[in-house]
Amino acid sequence: MNNRIPELYGSMIFSDRIMRSKLPKDVYRALRKTIENGTHLELDVANSVAVAMKEWAVENGATHYTHWFQPMTGFTAEKHDSFISPSGEGEVIMDFSGKELVKGEPDASSFPSGGLRATFEARGYTAWDPTSPAFIKDQTLYIPTAFCSYSGEALDKKTPLLRSMDTLNTQAVRMLHLLGNDTVKRVSATIGPEQEYFLVDKDLYRQRKDLIFCGRTLFGAPAPKGQEMEDHYFGALKPRVSAYMHDLDLELWKLGIPAKTKHNEVAPAQHELAPVFDTANIAVDHNQLTMEMMKKVAEKHGLTCLLHEKPFDRINGSGKHNNWSLTTDDGVNLLNPGRTPAQNTQFLIFLMAVIKAVDDYADLMRISAASAGNDHRLGGNEAPPAIVSVFLGDELTRVLESIENDTYFGKQEKIQLDTGAPVLPHFLKDNTDRNRTSPFAFTGNKFEFRMLGSAASVATPNIILNTAVAESLDQFYEELKDTEPADMDEAVHALLKRAIQKHKKVIFNGNGYSDEWVKEAARRGLDNLESTPDCLERLLTAKSITLFTKHHIYTEDEIRSRHDILLENYVKTIAIEARTMVDILSRDFLPTLHSYTGAVASSTSSKKALLPDLKTDAEEALVRKLSNCYEILADGVQDLKEQLTKTEKEEDLKRSAFLSRNLLIPSLEHLGTAASEAEALIPEDLLPYPSYDQLLFSL
């Protein structure tokens, strides 16, 4: 098997190789043109592609096809239709037309639309996205599609992503041409999302209502060991985990997903997978599929994969690092500084465009990582704070300083790394060391956006980044467009200088986890939007709406719909957590606590009856403590129920979100702490669910 990986790789996608072998030459060429340049595809071409696609799919065991799309839930959606078409006399043929390939019409009424579509006009369309390859999974041909309403509003995450890639392409190419680089025809955003996840035993998972309903534990006495020994990070893979990862790689490779790196993460039972980067659109589709496969392959191995941002208290949660760069059609990475960044005008313009974008639209960047789950991580000493800043590293910071101060910055020689051990090979040190605490770090030839939560689609952060960078480039273009070529260097220098002065406040190379940074950021006037309801309203400012409408990413209605869906999702998530907490405590935990208290009390009193002079202080104290816990928890449950009713009665979405944050979350935390403390007093075998010890250390 292992020596056949190159054949296995991509065997389940309708790849370029398959297209070339199955399509008539002119059809193949027309399709390539659409894929590469985004030109319109004629129906007769689509018909021809449909026939070839069906043939290939049927040869590979497919009986059905589906338009696969990404509604605003953040998940993917599919509805399967079989290829069969009755041909009379009780017989069928396998049929698939260009029309069926290009357009679908799922009933859209039950997907969130944030008010974009009333149920009585529930028509929604899916439209084939030829830039992302079709694939076969579970005997079904999957056709990546965009999803929109009858009147053309985007109801999904793919449409705005494609729009943002297009805008960024236009602006980047225009800028390159202005700088004299006129051979470039296309610029694409590339992304490589590193995905963190937890694995727990499936049987144990099935016994935890909080994991089942909320994706995270709502409480739990800490295991005697957490992550303090730092022995899990990059540690040797345990056999069950290793077998899982191997199987997962194979499944992903079949789908043409270039899974590259796998390792254990910081927290016990936590792991990471990183692919080789790809064009934004494809990488987003791949990340959705990767998350799905992670869960599915886990089932086969008797495991459950948790993608929640904070499945367990007191140990690290999971995020997603979005590595992002820009590549030209002739293969140049525009964020590669080369050996002499100070002299690399093109690099400096693009670098500055990104810094400006992040500074100007820091609030939108924050929003792109906002969810109830991720609020547990940001600022929690395991993930960047909610303050958006940029890490550049020493060398680039000095390059920018030299531009700002008109001082000379010469070529920096790379330094040989001296390990002191002569047998080891010698190599050159990187120009930047790593900084793990920055939300947005330059890492040599790309930026790494580290705020994202593990469960969310990476579409939104990339829509925002692409659009904001396109806007920077547009503004730079306007400043430079009338400059004579001979004066360009000087004009660029002056522009960079102005931009550095304006935006250097967002650059921070220090420790992002420290309290000093929170104070320093406030002094610099940077936002610290701590929770989801705090930041979401920024989506609706005139500045945000202007950005999105100017670049045709979202209409104003489309933005409002996203805002409402995000807010609604926040409210619903916390309500589910509150209901689950009430359920577990009243029906499972409190009865256990009650009977254990009773058992200790009666055994203590029967001992006392037998031997009146016996010392039973510790047992009595335990009974008192257990009873106190019971009172606190029972009262807390009552309060939580009342707060939940109040929150759910509130009809204004925004007020309801703030009630969730200000009432429900503190109550959930209070109950979680009290229950964890009580749990630590109860024998493990009496607990109505598996403990942290079992969940985190059983594999």
User: Judged by CB, which is closer to Mg ion: 396, or 567?
Assistant: 396
x/- track of binding to Mg ion for residues 318-337 (CB under 5 A): ---x----------------
Bridging pattern class, strands 92-94 and 187-201: unpaired
How far apart are CB 193 and ligand ADP at their closest, in Å?
7
Q: Is 439 an interacting residue with respect to ligand ADP (CB under 6 A)?
A: no
Site for ligand ADP in 220-259 (CB under 6 A): none
Nearest residue (CB) to ligand ADP, 369 versus 403: 369
- Alpha-carbon distance of 223 to 211, in angstroms, equals 17
Q: Are strands 80-82 and 64-68 parallel, antiparallel or unpaired?
A: antiparallel
Angle between helices 459-480 and 488-503 (to 10 degrees): 130
Q: Which is nearer to Mg ion, 281 or 322 (CB)?
A: 322
Residue ranges of alpha helices (H) inside 584-691 are 590-610, 617-649, 653-659, 665-679
- Residues across the chain: 699
Q: In angstroms, what is the minimal distance from the CB of 261 to ligand ADP?
A: 6
Q: Helix, strand or coil for residue 218?
A: coil
* CA-wise closest residue to 234 among 185, 190, 271, 188: 271
Binding piece for Mg ion, criterion CB under 5 A, among 6-14, 210-218, 316-324, 550-558 = 316-324
- Contact between 475 and ligand ADP per CB under 6 A: no
Q: Which is nearer to Mg ion, 157 or 321 (CB)?
A: 321
Nearer to ligand ADP, 294 or 574 (CB): 294
- Residue 83 interacts, among ligand ADP, Mg ion, none and using kind-specific CB cut-offs from 5 to 8 Å, with none
User: Rounded to the nearest 5°, which phi and psi values hold at 192?
Assistant: -130, 100
Instruction: Determine the interface stretch with ligand ADP among 135-143, 439-447, 573-581, 633-641 (rule: CB under 6 A).
Output: 439-447
Q: Which amino acid is at 43?
A: L
68 binds, among Mg ion, ligand ADP, none (CB under 5 to 8 A by kind): none
- Contacted entry of Mg ion, ligand ADP, none for residue 149, CB cut-off 5 to 8 Å set by kind: none
Q: Which amino acid is it at 693?
A: D
Among 74, 256, 275, 461, binds ligand ADP (CB under 6 A): 275
Residue of the chain from 190, 318, 435, 532 that contacts ligand ADP (CB under 6 A): 190
Binding mask 132-171 for Mg ion (x = CB under 5 A): ----------------------------------------
Closest residue by Cα to residue 503 from 399, 359, 390: 359
- Specify burial of residue 476 (Cβ count, 10 A radius: 0-12, 13-18, 19+): buried
Is 271 a residue that touches ligand ADP (CB under 6 A)? no
241's tokens = 């985990």
Radius of gyration of the CA atoms of the chain, in A: 28
Query: What does residue 232 show for φ and ψ, rounded to 5 degrees?
Result: -90, -40
216 binds, among Mg ion, ligand ADP, none (CB under 5 to 8 A by kind): none
* Residue, CB closest to ligand ADP: 192
Angle between helices 459-480 and 542-550 (to 10 degrees): 80
What track of x and - describes contact with ligand ADP for positions 327 through 346 (by CB under 6 A)? Answer: ------x-------------
How far apart (Å, rounded) are the C-alpha atoms in residues 593 and 598? 9
Residue nearest to Mg ion (CB): 321
Residue 27 or 335: the one with the smaller Cβ distance to ligand ADP is 335
Q: Does residue 192 touch ligand ADP according to CB under 6 A?
A: yes
Closest among 43, 40, 45, 65 to 55, alpha carbons compared: 65
Q: Contact with ligand ADP (CB under 6 A): which of 83, 96, 244, 324?
A: 324
Chain center to CA of 192: 11
Per CB under 5 A, residues contacting Mg ion are: 321
Residues within the interface to ligand ADP (CB under 6 A): 190-192, 194, 274-277, 323-325, 333, 443, 445-446
